[in-house]
Chain A
Amino acid sequence: MQLSTRHLLGIKDLTPNDISLILSTAEQFKEVLQRPVKKVPSLRDVTIVNLFYENSTRTRFSFELAEKRLSADTINFAVSGSSAAKGETLLDTVNNILSMKVDMVVMRHSASGAPHFLSQHIPAAIINAGDGINEHPTQGLLDAFSMKEKFGKLEGLKVAIIGDIMHSRVAMSNIYLLTKMGAKVTVCGPPTLIPKYMRDAFGIEVSYNLKETLEWCDVANVLRIQLERQNQVLFSSLREYNLAYGVKKNLLDSLSKEITVMHPGPINRGVELDSDVADSKQSIILQQVENGVAVRMAVLYLLSERNPASN
């Protein structure tokens, strides 16, 4: 019983069995998190570095908590205040950290493929915590976990992914994962934010009509408009975006059924999601955050290095 991969670089590399194993292990860790002592000794001989070359609140705290709940030793690295600011290369930084006997690397980087590059050059297990516009596998997994928790299964579930598909690593990980697990996916947003190849490349539906998409889906995973990744004008203004593609209370109320609303955070309130929706009963945004710790515990636990030689 183990994963087919040594690293978690993206959902793209996982098999449906891997995904099921991670989700079922996460379920057991979720129970651990309800105990009086929310901690197990599984990784007490493992040291993990959290390398964050890009800003993060949820993901970094969530990984750090997951590591602590598994009794791992952790060190944190943020690019400001480190020698990376003095021009040290990524590989040098990581090799220096690893020479201090670190076993696993959790990394977020603004360059797509940075963890893949690293995985070819260092011996430690690497967990991608988001690389550029490529993938954010643990977010994909925790989204799937939350959907499975709410609906019982992923197979046949109708999921709409709404917003900035082009710049979203969350969208990529969600699409890979949901299609592998037999869910139906529609991406929805302004044509300028959805690459043309989406339908053919991933076998998913593309829609430019928000109301139709919401009427179709069971779950709407609303993505953040990534202001930091827009280097050209892809829509005229945030206000206009909100009018055309913002998920609003009256829009949800006009549907024939009650759908579930998700968001990977941080929310731009009043842009992609209105406050009254984000805070409503239909939203499971905070459950997603809670599940994130359990899912990351499962990933770390399953990837922590085995050493059969010490048998």
Chain B
Amino acid sequence: MLIFIKIFELKTILSEQQLAITIKRLAHQLLENHVNLENTVLIGLQPRGIFLSDRIVEEIKKETPADKVQYGKLDITFYRDDIRTELHKANHTDIPFSIENKKVVLIDDVLYTGRTIRAALDALLDFGRPEKVELCVLIDRRFSRQLPIQADYAGKSIDSIITQKVKVLWQSKDGRDEVVFVE
């Protein structure tokens, strides 16, 4: 326990520079496994996953023709399993292409309990039957999963205790790029 506390006195998980490098790496890993993004579509999860997906798409477009990149945004509010305990504000879904028989890469900022991804998989299937679904996250909070779900691409894996919150801050939304622990 002491060791945990020692580690997490450092509140920053990823600095601005580390974040930029990590995003680049994730983009390159995606391109490595999905050559030229043929038959692959990228889908960012609303509300906060889209800041990461926007950045990844930006990086990918530096390496591959922009018109090859099929990129959408998915909101999972109506598929949540905690809908009876709390209402969440619905955000916009925009998937302007078919996902039928496509390889889909879901992109979110933090993988924690896995419940958001469960909802996202349900939502996704209402758009068609993808050939394969992969998950790309910036922060993987290990040992916190409540469902059997894991990431195929993770920017950084961290061990955290349940009372800690991980917050990913974005320049365009929060004024700076950083990943931090919030006690």
| Interface of A toward B, CB cutoff 8 Å | 1-2, 21, 24-25, 27-29, 31-32, 35-37, 39-42, 45, 301-302, 305-308, 310-311
Contact = CB atoms under 8 A, between A and B. Distances in A.
A40 B81 CA distance: 12
Contact of A306 (B78, B85, B90, B127): B85
Interface in B46-104: 75, 77-79, 83-94
A307 B90 contact: no
Nearest to B76: A40
Nearest to B98: A36
Q: Among A31, A39, A45, which residue has the most Cβ atoms of chain B within 10 A?
A: A31
Contacts, number: 57
Contact of B78 (A24, A41, A45): A41
Given A35-B127, A36-B128, A40-B78, A306 B84 contact: yes
A302 B92 contact: no
Contact of B87 (A1, A31, A39): A1
B-side interface size class:
20 to 34
Contact of A36 (B88, B89, B90, B127): B127
Contacts of A301: 78
Contacts of A41: 78-79, 122
A27 B94 CA distance: 12
Contacts of B77: 28
Given A24-B90, A42-B83, 19 more contacts: A1-B88, A2-B87, A25-B90, A27-B92, A28-B91, A28-B93, A31-B92, A32-B78, A35-B127, A36-B126, A37-B127, A40-B79, A40-B123, A41-B79, A305-B84, A306-B84, A306-B86, A306-B87, A308-B86
Contacts of B123: 40
Given A28-B92, A35-B127, A41-B122, A307 B85 contact: yes
Given A28-B77, A32-B78, A40-B78, A310 B84 contact: yes
Q: Among B84, B90, B125, which residue has the most Cβ atoms of chain A within 10 A?
A: B90
Contact of A28 (B84, B90, B122, B127): B90
Contact of A302 (B86, B87, B94, B127): B87
Contacts of B90: 24-25, 28-29
Nearest to B89: A1
Interchain residue pairs A-B with the least CB separation, the first 8: A40-B78, A37-B126, A28-B90, A42-B78, A1-B89, A311-B85, A31-B93, A2-B87
A311 to B, nearest CB: 5
A28 B128 CA distance: 19
A134 B103 CA distance: 53
Contacts of A32: 78, 93
